[in-house]
A and B are shown apart, each in its own frame.
Chain A
Amino acid sequence: MAESLTTEVLRDAIRRLSAQAESCADELSAIDGALGDGDLGVTLVRGMRSVAEQADDLPPDLGAALLQCAKALVSLSGSTYGTLLATGVMSAAKAVRGRTEVGWRETADLLGGALEAMQRRGKAELGDKTVLDAVAATVEALRLAETPDAMLPAARQAVREAIAEFRDRAARQGRARMFGENSVGKDDPGMVAWLRLLEGLA
């Protein structure tokens, strides 16, 4: 990963994430169909397409650029997953307002702040078996990474472990909660989607 986050790095990341959303849409929708309404893949594709359309017009101010991304993410779909991600992006946007560069060591704190905002909006606790548990694992891994190149591999590994850890627990939040014990043994669709996004950044 790059030494620092700039709008140029962001632009590149958006292109990768958008392509990744397209290629894992069917898988995500299938997993989501078992525990939710099965639209997660489509949701992610629509959201990322709308962000990708903005990529060329993003300003150098990272705060303004991220705000534009957050708005694009929620422009089409009303899905809670998109809104949660946008909430995180908006929190990061506020934290870096006016800056054109953020050092790699800061990104863990930026994502940590995003996680807190997402928890408030989703009214979910860590441990409820939602995407928040995957984000929390990512924050932890980023904090421990000693070089920029170590960040993404460590984050992916941590999220894979989190998914495995939660597999046999029951979901306590979101639509999957309605399925209660039926969610035991199934991976949370939101956590898997987060992992796929991280894999897309490689």
Chain B
Amino acid sequence: MKKILNDPFRYVDEMLEGLCAAHPQHYQQRGPHGRVIARAGGAVSGKVGLVTGGGSGHLPVFTGYVGKGLLDACAIGDVFASPSVDQMADAIHAADGGAGVLLIYGNYGGDVMNFDMAAEMVDMEGIATETALVADDVASAPLAEREKRRGVAGMVYGFKLAGAKAEAGADLPTVAATARKALDATRSIGVALTPCTVPQVGKPTFQLGEDEMEIGMGIHGEPGIQRGKLQTADEIASTMVDALLEDMPLASGDRVSVMCNSLGATPPEELYIVHRYVAGRLRELGAEIVMPLVGRYATSMEMAGMSVTFCRLDEELEQLLQAPCDCAFWRV
């Protein structure tokens, strides 16, 4: 895989320097190693802070969603590697406006362990935290073992809805409850067509034949549920929509936001082809699509493939979704 880079071991640091140079009105680097991105204006006094964190390689996730109406700070690890406990604690400090901090991030063993430890460390300094884990990938474990599911693109809904609630002045338990409600109503599934290459490793994370695809594959190449010959867009979309609806049935009158997300290399054209199919299926059901999102929201380096996410909205969640937000990658 050809990549445009200098030193693979400086990949993330140089990316962050460029991100902040390009968008100084949105982001600033914090922490002794610059591995924390905070809002340009810093923590908002009296507001519940929102912190996320995880490995690099998924832009706009995680870092990109720091901004008004979204996150306050983010801890960034190397590509596909958890940030350190220290970096997470630094991010919590950067987000703390005195009203406590919600930790909202994907359900990966290393991240959970490190965030739990960071929470223990800041607790000794008197900063209250709550945690909301994103576990939206229906292909990663059956519904009965939902707590084992991985977090993928659906986390963007968590950031947006909890972020809007915090911006509106809600207290920590309320923001945490809203985040959990939003994540509970969110389901995703992906399909991978090609692998990606972690710069420090230099070779593809997995092998996939030229004419093959894998439905349900994780954003780091974790095994999916169905590997086979590449199918048509409608066939792929049909399999994904079926899996989502089986997990979270939608009925006539339901209001739902839909995200067709590129894993990196898949162009918007193909996302719209899939969105066309998804919209048709929901129309047949009588469900109404609110604010569809089509584009790159959560990626996996240069992986070709995409994911579909459903977020079922009640009145409160719909209002929060429509509330203003502003970061370099998304403005409402």
Query: Which A residues form the contact surface with B (CB < 8 A)?
Result: 71, 74-80, 83-84, 86-87, 90, 121-123, 174-175, 178
Contact = CB atoms under 8 A, between A and B. Distances in A.
B84 A77 contact: yes
A196 B217 CA distance: 36
B75 to A, nearest CB: 9
A90 B120 CA distance: 10
Contacts, number: 51
A180 B109 CA distance: 16
Interface in B178-229: 222-223
B222 A74 contact: no
B121 interface: yes
Nearest to B88: A78
A83 B85 contact: yes
Interface stretch (B57-65, B110-118, B285-293, B318-326): B110-118
B116 A86 contact: no
A125 to B, nearest CB: 14
Contacts of A84: 113
B83 A78 contact: yes
Contacts of A86: 85, 117
A127 to B, nearest CB: 18
Of the listed residues B77, B81, B114, the one surrounded by the most CB atoms of chain A closer than 10 A to its CB is B114
Contacts of B117: 74, 83, 86-87, 90, 121
A74 B113 contact: no
Closest 8 CB pairs of A and B: A78-B82, A74-B85, A75-B86, A78-B84, A80-B110, A83-B113, A78-B83, A78-B77
Contacts of B112: 123
B303 to A, nearest CB: 18
A191 B317 CA distance: 47
Contacts of A87: 113, 117
A84 B82 CA distance: 14
Contacts of B82: 78-80
A87 B110 CA distance: 13
Contacts of A175: 109
12 contacts: A71-B86, A74-B114, A78-B83, A78-B110, A78-B111, A80-B82, A80-B110, A80-B114, A83-B85, A87-B117, A90-B120, A121-B116
B266 interface: no
Contacts of B222: 178
A78 B109 contact: no
Contacts of A178: 222-223
Contacts of A83: 85, 110, 113-114, 117
Given A80-B110, A83-B113, A178-B222, A74 B120 contact: no
Contacts of B300: none
Interface residues of B, number: 20
Given A83-B85, A178-B222, A78 B114 contact: yes
A146 B229 CA distance: 65
Contacts of A74: 84-86, 114, 117
B87 interface: yes
Interface in B104-156: 109-114, 116-117, 120-121
A61 B87 CA distance: 26
Contacts of B109: 80, 174-175
Nearest to B80: A37
Contacts of B84: 74-78
A175 B110 CA distance: 10
Nearest to B110: A80
A121 B118 CA distance: 12
Nearest to B147: A123
A122 B86 contact: no
Given A174-B109, A178-B222, A78 B116 contact: no
A181 B112 CA distance: 25
Given A77-B84, A78-B77, A80-B109, 11 more contacts: A75-B86, A76-B86, A78-B110, A79-B110, A83-B110, A83-B114, A83-B117, A87-B113, A121-B117, A123-B112, A178-B222
A172 B111 CA distance: 19
Contacts of B85: 74-75, 78, 83, 86
B77 to A, nearest CB: 5
Nearest to A177: B109
